Amino acid sequence: MASSNSWSDSGAQVPATPAHFDLRPLSTGEVLDRTFQLYRSRFTLFAGLAMLPAGVNVVTQSLRLWYSAHQSVQIHTGINLYKTQAISLALALVSSILSLVLYGITQAATTWAVSAVYLGEPATIKIAYKTAGRHWFRYTLIVLRQVWAGFWLPVILVSIGIGYQAARRGSASANLTAGLLYIVAFFSLVYAIWAYIRVSLAVPAAVVESLKVRASIKRSKLLLVDRKFRIFLLFVFLFALYLVIGAIQAPLAYFAIRARGSEAFFTHAISLAIGFVTGTLVGPLGAIAICLFYIDERVRREGFDIEWMMTKIAPTPIAPALPPAPAFAPEPAQGLRPPEEESSSPN
C-alpha cells in the first residue's frame, strides 16, 4: 500500500500472501460474489472480528433482561419507580453507546482486513483491531455522522409530533397534527436512505486514506456521485437476510413473552445465542461489501488498480544521501595555477 495509508503500517511482522483477486471494475453482482469469496477464504479472520461486538451485545442484553426480571417481581411506587426507570434507561443508553463504538471499531478493523487480504497484504485479528483502535474515536464520530445524516429529518418530525401531543394531551387537533407529522416522517425515510447511502463509504475512506471525519464524509459523497443504487441493492440484500433470521427468532420471541420461570430463562438464552451467531456470521458481510465498493469506485474513478500495480512493480526509491562536502580545496590540475600564484611568480 501507499505509505500514506493508515492500515499499511501495522508494526507487526506477518508474512504476506499473494493477492488472489484482481483489481478491475466490477459489477454489483461481481462485488457481492467477491464478498462471499473473501468471507469464505478468511472465515476465521472476519468471523473473529465480528465476535467482539456480538459478544458484548449478548452481555449487555443479558444484564438488561436480568435487571428487568429482578425488578418485575417487586412493586415500585413513588421515588422507587422513578429510580427503576432511570436505571433501566441508563442501561439502555450504555448498551447503545457500547454498540455504536464497537460498530465503528469493528467496521474499521474489517475494512483494514478486507483491504489487506484483497491486495495480498498480511492480516490478523490482533493487527486489525490494533490498527482500528488507534483512531477509535474518529470512527465512532463517523458512524454518528452517518446515522445523523440519514435520519435527522425523521427523528425531528417524530419528536415534534410526540412533543405536540404531550403539550396538548387529549386534543383532537393535536392528534391529527401529530399523525400528519408521523406520516411525513415515514415518507421521509426515502430521503434518509438516500442520504445514508451517500456517506456509506466514509469509514473505508478514513481507514485507507487516513482522513478525518469531515474529509471522509466528503470523500464518500464524491465517490458515490452516480452509483448509489448499487449500495441500495446491498442494503436490500442484507435486510432480506435479517428478515429471514427474524422469522426464525419470531417463535422464540412469542414463547419468551408467554413463558414464565425457567422456561422464559431458557427461551431468552436461546434467543441471545441465535443473536450472537447471527452477529458473528452475518455481520461481516456488509462491512466487506462496503469496502469492496469503495475499492471499486477508486478503481473506476482514479485508476487505483494501476496505482497499486505500479507501487508493487516499481516502488518509490529512497534518495541516496549526498556525499559530505570536502574539508579542504582540491589541488589545481597540472599546467593550471591560480591567478594569485601567476601574479606573484617572477618574470
Q: Domain limits of the chain?
A: 27-313
Grid coordinates given for 152: 435527522
pLDDT of res. 345? 46
d(CA 34, CA 40): 10
Q: Name the CA radius of gyration of the chain, rounded.
A: 30
Percent of the chain with pLDDT over 90: 40
The x, y and z cell numbers of residue 340, run together, are: 594569485
- Mean pLDDT along residues 42-71: 85
pLDDT at 204 over 70: yes
DSSP states along 35-101: HHHHHHHTHHHHHHHHHHHHHHHHHHHHHHHHHHHHHHTS---THHHHHHHHHHHHHHHHHHHHHHH
pLDDT attached to residue 197? 95
User: What does the DSSP 8-state code read for residue 8?
Assistant: G
Whether 33 has a pLDDT exceeding 60, the answer reads yes
Please provide the size of the chain in residues. 347
> What is the mean predicted confidence (pLDDT) over 117-135?
88
The pLDDT confidence band at residue 263, using thresholds 50, 70 and 90, is low
pLDDT given at position 317: 45
Tell me what the mean pLDDT of segment 279-298 comes to.
92
Distance of alpha carbon 269 from alpha carbon 278, whole angstroms: 14
Q: Is the pLDDT of residue 215 over 90?
A: yes
The residue-averaged pLDDT of 8-32 equals 66
CB contact set of 1 (below 8 Å; sequence gap of 6+): 7, 8, 115, 119, 121, 208, 308, 311
Q: Higher model confidence: residue 77 or residue 190?
A: 190
Among residues 290, 297, 304, which one has the least CA distance to residue 197?
A: 290
Quick check: 290 and 283 in contact, CB under 8 A? Answer: no
> In this structure, what C-alpha cell is assigned to residue 134?
488507534
pLDDT of residue 138: 94
Tell whether the model's pLDDT for residue 10 goes beyond 50: no
3-class DSSP assignment, residue 149? helix
